[in-house]
Structure 1
Amino acid sequence: FDSATLEVIKNCADREKTWISDELIEAYKNLIKMGNLHSVEVYQENQLVGGLYGVTYKGTFFGESMFSKVTQASKCALIKLIEHLREKNFVLLDVQYQTEHLKMFGAVEIPFDQFEKLLIDAYKVDTDF
């Protein structure tokens, strides 16, 4: 975890169309310094081949983006993240929007009022990534 956070972000941004601007990367650097942005890296033969990153606050992990240079690498990162969040007693993993990829790992869409309740509960949990 957190061994190549900026490299993960830059790989996530390296697409034809991206919402991850240079300005946003600068903001992310501040969140890293504050201890509120974390990454999961996947290596193959000492090369970064996949990963994901997100913003944390209390018991919530807000997933931002993921990338994969080899088949299944982002899935490996997600599995490791889920295991880690469970170990650290996180309450909520917000994936922002549903995809078939995320459904395989148990992601479900929930109504806003249920999300709000989970968020309130998660903000009561004082845990570290």
Structure 2
Amino acid sequence: MGVWKSKNRHKHLLQYHIIFVCKYRKKLLVSKEISDYIKQFSYEICTKSNIIIKYMETDKDHIHYMIETEPTISISKVVNLIKSYTRYHIWKKHIEYLKNHFWKEHTFWTDGYFTCSVGNVSEEMLKQYIENQG
């Protein structure tokens, strides 16, 4: 369970589950070296951007994150930051290997992503709380 953050005149706790998939579902994250670099680059960009990675793990062709962020940064901005930073740096480290998989494309992730908010209360509990106001 997360801890409420206080800033200026508001409190917040914004947590998200995010999944990125490798382009063409290529099993690029089977390589421990690539998987570890992706994790390292993810931590780097998130630390620079005040995004907290609570949990992160790779599977053969995708990565899961549980992150915590502030209300000033949108989830689409978070996704764009992580995907572009990791793609750029993994290509710098493994250009020859990735050229064999993507030929002329300088890509790593699919265009899309999955995200959902992670709440501290269930929808039913929140519904009851709101209905019992006043």
Q: TM-score, normalised by structure 2?
A: 0.31
Say which structure, 1 or 2, has more relative contact order (CA 8 Å, 6+ apart): 2
